């Protein structure tokens, strides 16, 4: 039996299935004992909320220190904040005052908030699953039982679940978990992002995965987006050869990214904080193509000052002397709300104030970040490039470039994440020093398919010719105006798509460090002319196979 899903990366694994343990039973709706006062129970709930908050913050600390998925730290910090949300506490108290038990009050308050998030949909809808996980942890603490989580096993296994919480994914024992298969989630869900950052073989949005049996042998083939149940000996042997080929790709570390004929395609790393420089350099990154500055802001009640930011940027830049480092300004809004920047009741945050739009409204935050970057640049020898997120056209690009240059920054560019910038690329190329394409958002906006929704995951692929044609419009404008055009979205981590992007005219690729080996190896199999032929086929839709419309 084969189950089709969405593969994360190129890895392959073989092993027995173990399903994620079922969640807690819904607490009964019996009236609270008269011997238990609302005040006493509310105090007990407060302690449970504090316990969950501290547990998640400790997981975040360990993740940031490298004891888990480093990309998980800001996500776990955000989850910890959910456990201290004043509105949730007020709601819990109202259910207690109505005579409900502590466990039922927590359940109903969290369920109410989950429902509201799902109604909003999009990025906020995805947070409903995260909120549910926090609620389960609080109820488990109240009951004195372990929180639902990854099962224990003495031998390696393939973990199967509807989806995983960020807390679960960040704490996976990599000596035991061979692969992850989820029936829900999309390719840019938290599960997928954290699996990719940790190099875990994964297939998400695999409808039918719930029918796999505990102990059943499976092949999880991320490259083919397949889960093969009860494989033959021949299939297992093929999988083992594919795994060995992946190991051989590591032998090219230290070599520059290039095609078979020597045509250079610099391979850079996406990183989330200065500590991520080590794994990036270990995997042979030639620099940083996307530094997400959000880690400085997430979890704070107010924006950090210029000095604090400058120290962090300097710590990163010092690790890459003479090398390119592209830093993206704060990308707030949508799935990354900040109390001092974003409004909580925005009806459609994915299409609202986010990226540069938010920063323009909060000009002091924008000015401080640019000033901090300029200070760090003056103190280091890295080749600093600075870009703004969510830029729509040449007018926004010109605004940001002029502002960045006024602070003394030398290379100032923009991110291409919405289709409008592709349509206006010829004009953007005349004002920006470079463009970096974020294919995750460009795909979801081009195809009107929320990147967090498994129900439309078949649209969430940069292989769609509409997305590739938008990229080509930007690349063509870059070539005509001698402007570099990079890709820093997850598309760059797909080895076959990396070849296509090189053929389209993209000048650099940036990805999660664990993907560098496979991409570097794949590029060496093609000359520039061959890559251009692959690109022509992809632009014509030859490699795009829509699901559900056969």
Q: Residue 291 sits in a domain of what CATH number?
A: 3.20.20.60
* Catalytic hit among 132, 464, 488, 545: 488
283 noted as active-site residue? no
Per residue in 199-250, pLDDT tens? 789 999 899 999 999 999 999 998 889 999 999 999 999 999 888 877 777 7
Per residue in 514-525, pLDDT tens? 889 989 999 999
Q: Tell me the mean pLDDT in the region 82-101.
A: 90
Task: Convert 196-226 to b/e letters by CB count within 10 Å (16 or more is b).
Answer: bbbbbbbbbbbeebeebeeeebbbbbbbbbb
Query: How far is it, in rounded angstroms, from Cα 218 to Cα 213?
Result: 10
User: For residue 162, is it within any domain?
Assistant: yes
User: For residue 547, is it within any domain?
Assistant: no
pLDDT of residue 59: 76
Per residue in 180-204, pLDDT tens? 999 987 776 777 877 877 778 999 9
Domain limits for position 229: 2-21+150-248
CA dist list (Å): 9 to 13, 17, 204, 244: 12, 20, 11, 16
* Catalytic hit among 190, 283, 362, 464: 190
pLDDT of residue 126: 61
Confidence of residue 63 (pLDDT cuts 50, 70, 90): low
User: For residue 59, is it within any domain?
Assistant: yes
Do both 402 and 485 map to the same domain?
yes
Query: How far is it, in rounded angstroms, from Cα 166 to Cα 72?
Result: 7
In DSSP terms, 179 is beta-bridged to 158, 201
| pLDDT: which is higher, 497 or 30 | 497
Confidence of residue 348 (pLDDT cuts 50, 70, 90): confident
Average pLDDT, the chain: 89
- Cβ atoms of 371 and 307 within 8 Å: the answer is no
pLDDT of residue 67: 52
Do both 70 and 94 map to the same domain?
yes
Say which range, 18-32, 92-106, 282-296, has the weakest mean pLDDT. 18-32
Q: In angstroms, how far is the first alpha carbon of the chain from the final one?
A: 20
User: For residue 359, is it within any domain?
Assistant: yes
Among 219, 248, 277, the domain-final residue is 248
Say which range, 58-67, 96-105, 312-321, has the weakest mean pLDDT. 58-67
Q: Tell me the mean pLDDT in the region 270-286.
A: 89
Do both 346 and 464 map to the same domain?
yes
Per residue in 411-444, pLDDT tens? 999 999 999 999 999 999 999 999 999 999 999 9
Do both 341 and 412 map to the same domain?
yes
User: For residue 300, is it within any domain?
Assistant: yes
pLDDT of residue 357: 92
Do both 226 and 136 map to the same domain?
no
pLDDT of residue 146: 76
User: For residue 31, is it within any domain?
Assistant: no
Structural domain count, the chain: 3
Query: How far is it, in rounded angstroms, from Cα 113 to Cα 89?
Result: 11
pLDDT of residue 117: 75
SS3 for 455? helix
The domain spanning residue 235 has which CATH number? 3.50.30.10
H or E stretch at 17: strand 12-19
Q: Tell me the mean pLDDT in the region 273-282.
A: 87
């Amino acid at each position: 039996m084969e189950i089709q899903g969405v593969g994360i990366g190129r890895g392959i694994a073989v092993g027995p299935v173990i399903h994620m343990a079922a969640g807690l039973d819904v607490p009964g709706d019996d009236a609270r004992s008269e011997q238990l006062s609302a005040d006493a129970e509310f105090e007990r709930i407060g302690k449970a909320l504090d316990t969950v908050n501290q547990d998640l913050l400790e997981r975040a600390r360990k993740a940031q220190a490298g004891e888990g998925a480093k990309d998980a730290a800001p996500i776990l910090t955000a989850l910890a904040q959910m456990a201290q949300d004043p509105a949730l506490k007020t709601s819990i108290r109202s259910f207690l005052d109505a005579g409900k038990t502590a466990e039922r009050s927590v359940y109903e308050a969290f369920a109410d908030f989950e429902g509201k998030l799902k109604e909003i949909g999009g990025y906020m809808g995805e947070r409903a699953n995260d909120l549910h996980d926090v609620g389960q942890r609080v109820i488990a603490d109240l009951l004195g039982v372990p929180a639902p989580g990854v099962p224990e096993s003495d031998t390696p296994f393939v973990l199967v679940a509807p989806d995983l919480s960020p807390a679960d994914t960040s704490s996976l024992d990599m000596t035991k978990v061979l692969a992850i298969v989820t029936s829900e989630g999309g390719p840019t869900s938290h599960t997928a992002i954290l699996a990719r950052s940790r190099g875990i073989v994964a297939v998400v949005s695999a409808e039918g995965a719930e029918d796999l049996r505990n102990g059943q042998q499976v092949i999880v083939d991320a490259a083919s987006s397949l889960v093969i149940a009860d494989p033959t000996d021949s299939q297992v042997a093929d999988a083992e050869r594919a795994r060995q080929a992946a190991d051989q790709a590591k032998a090219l570390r230290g070599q520059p990214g290039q095609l078979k004929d020597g045509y250079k395609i610099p391979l850079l790393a996406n990183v989330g904080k200065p500590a991520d420089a080590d794994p990036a350099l270990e995997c042979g990154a030639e620099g940083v193509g996307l530094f997400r500055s959000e880690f400085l802001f997430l979890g704070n009640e107010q924006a950090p000052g210029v000095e604090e930011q400058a120290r962090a940027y300097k710590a990163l830049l010092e690790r890459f002397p003479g090398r390119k480092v592209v830093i993206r300004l704060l990308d707030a809004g949508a799935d990354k709300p900040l109390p001092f920047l974003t409004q909580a009741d925005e009806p459609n945050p994915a299409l609202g104030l986010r990226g540069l739009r938010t920063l323009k409204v909060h000009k002091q935050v924008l000015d401080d970040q640019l000033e901090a970057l300029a200070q760090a640049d003056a103190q280091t020898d890295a080749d600093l490039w600075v870009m703004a997120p969510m830029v729509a056209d040449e007018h926004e690009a010109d605004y940001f470039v002029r502002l960045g240059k006024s602070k003394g920054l030398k290379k100032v560019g923009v991110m291409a994440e919405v289709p409008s910038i592709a349509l206006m690329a010829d004009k953007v190329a005349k004002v920006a020093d470079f463009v970096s394409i974020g294919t995750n958002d460009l795909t979801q906006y081009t195809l009107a398919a929320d990147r967090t929704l498994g129900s439309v995951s078949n649209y969430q692929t940069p292989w769609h010719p509409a997305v590739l044609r938008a990229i080509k419009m930007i690349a063509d404008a870059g070539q005509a105006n001698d402007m570099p055009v990079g890709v820093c979205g997850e598309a760059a981590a797909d080895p076959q798509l990396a070849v296509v992007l090189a053929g389209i005219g993209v000048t650099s690729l940036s990805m999660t460090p664990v993907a560098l080996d496979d991409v570097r190896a794949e590029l060496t199999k093609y000359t520039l002319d061959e890559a251009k032929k692959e690109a022509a086929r992809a632009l014509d839709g030859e490699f795009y196979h829509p699901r559900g419309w056969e």
